[in-house]
Amino acid sequence: MTSFFRSIRNTLNFDFEDKNEAILNADLGLLGFPPKDLHYRFLSQFTPVFYIRIREYSKTVAIAPYIVNYSGAVFHQYPGPWQVMLKQADGSYACIAESATRFTLGEVNT
């Protein structure tokens, strides 16, 4: 086991010194799991290339049926623009707005 932890430490540059310290610092209780600092340093090097957030909305209008329910999504595929998508009757999504910056959920709802 000691050689296993040494190989992980050497390969991934972990901050623990021996197997006992690795077990004490393990997040989520997993043997040899790296500390949160390593998670942050490792994951912060990645750029998200795909984002989608699907939401259900309702809007009050002055004419019947007075409440209109609809579904939509905020979508982004790097390096393209952020998009607001509206769900169509056939289940597909149509882009109704684009921006270089991310839309807030309040902007999406209107």
Mind listing the pLDDT tens digit for each residue in 48-90?
788 888 888 888 888 888 888 888 888 888 889 999 998 898 9
Q: Tell me: the pLDDT tens digits for 35-56? A: 778 778 887 787 778 888 888 8
Please say whether the beta carbons of 19 and 35 come within 8 A: no
Q: Does 13 score more than 60 pLDDT?
A: no
CB 95 within 8 A of CB 59: no
- Write down the number of H helices and E strands in the chain: 4, 4
Q: What is the DSSP letter of 28?
A: G
Radius of gyration of the chain measured on its C-alpha atoms? 23
CB 75 within 8 A of CB 99: no
Token couple for 43: 């994951």
pLDDT at 90: 92
Q: What is the pTM of this model?
A: 0.50
pLDDT value of position 25: 47
Tokens of 90: 């056939």
Q: List the chain domain ranges.
A: 2-43, 50-109
